Structure 1
Amino acid sequence: MSPTEYLRVGRLVSTHGIRGEVRILPDTDFPEERFAPGSQLLLQHPSLSEPLLLTVEKGRPHKNVWLVKFAEWSNINEAEPYKGGRLVVSIRDAVPVQEDEGEYYFYQIIGCDVFTTDGRHLGQVREILQLPANDVWVVRPKDKGKEILLPYIDDVVKQVDTEEKRITIEWMEGLE
């Protein structure tokens, strides 16, 4: 599988204790599901030629991380070499989102063409910034000019068609 076929769900930042438990910094909106007992995750690490399949034995939130014990690791020495690794799942295993209610995965939005309601092509979404008030979609103009920052709010984003990779926005003063 290519890297684009995976969704990142967390990063293994350190070990915790001596029994193989690790600290995971979550990169998912669904940590309760991803780090639940029985969940299977793939570990990507520079030392591995292929992702390593891991099964969650137990997991719990702790401050800003999750403490996770994988069935495959019984002590700190088995977990230690994989610090800095990324935990991913196949896109096929994505938790369903409510697109009709404005929920999307980043991979569905990045690369979409952005048009105004009057049909003017502005460019493509290149990045999504997660800010406290709302997400901001960074659009690289087709003429390679200055990037446009689109707040993901109802007043601006009017329609998202993930199948056609097309977003329609209402142009507002101050977006450029």
Structure 2
Amino acid sequence: MTVTVVVGRLGRAHGIRGELAVEPRTDEPERRFAPGSSVVCGGRRLTVKTARPHGQKLVVRFVEVADRTEAETLHGKIIEAEVPDDEIPTDEDAFYDRQLVGLTVRSGGADVGTVRRVDHLPGQDLLVVRTPTGEVLVPFVEALVPEVDLDAGVVTVADVPGLLNPGQADEARD
């Protein structure tokens, strides 16, 4: 059985032949975007024809994307790869969304919520955390999420006033 994992976000069309800038969201871009590999984008399967580095991004051409006009329709879409449901990332600091969803969020030594989902935005990923007062968004960066302990089922979030309870930020300014 397979599941999908986010491996990138499509940027602007690059050139006139249907190439696209891709912001990788994987620690294995050379594997996920190797010529001949396939990805899923908006329910559509795409086959990588070519991929080359371009600064912090990749420029990728897909077999199924014929020209710039078609490439422009894909701008901003998430790219996913199908992986076996028991596969986990090889990098110890990388996680699939399915590993994070449902984990307890702990801050300042107290359990404060649960990871509901991971949102993949252009600038960074966000943990959507369900707390007793509602959902909050936590940037999934090491400074704010210093530890993920899958064995314990806990994500540690920095104890920053207002991060998990926006009302606290207002109180801290007063």
| TM-score band w.r.t. shorter chain | 0.5 to 0.7
Q: CA–CA distance in 1 between the matches of 2:130 and 2:87?
A: 29
Q: CA–CA distance in 1 between the matches of 2:112 and 2:54?
A: 43
Q: CA shift at 1:85, angstroms?
A: 2.3
Checking the alignment, whether the CA contact within 8 Å between 1:41 and 1:87 is kept in structure 2 is yes
Checking the alignment, whether the CA contact within 8 Å between 1:136 and 1:151 is kept in structure 2 is no
The residue type paired with residue 61 of structure 2 is: K
After superposition, the C-alpha distances for 1:64-104 in whole angstroms (9 at most, x for unaligned) are 221001122333233233223221123537863248x5643
Q: CA shift at 1:122, angstroms?
A: 3.9
Q: Which residue matches 1:37?
A: 35
Runs of 5+ unmatched residues, structure 2: 120-124, 162-174
Matching residue within 92, 108, 112 for 2:99: 108
**% identical equivalent positions:** 34
The RMSD of aligned alpha carbons is 4.0
For normalisation by structure 1, the TM-score amounts to 0.61
1:161 and 2:151 equivalent?
A: yes
The residue type paired with residue 97 of structure 1 is: P
The residue type paired with residue 8 of structure 2 is: G
Q: CA shift at 1:22, angstroms?
A: 1.2
Checking the alignment, whether the CA contact within 8 Å between 1:11 and 1:85 is kept in structure 2 is yes
Q: Rg: which structure is higher?
A: 1
Checking the alignment, whether the CA contact within 8 Å between 2:5 and 2:97 is kept in structure 1 is no
Q: Which residue matches 1:124?
A: 114
Q: CA–CA distance in 2 between the matches of 1:37 and 1:29?
A: 17
For normalisation by structure 2, the TM-score amounts to 0.61
- Larger displacement relative to structure 2 (26-35 or 74-83): 74-83
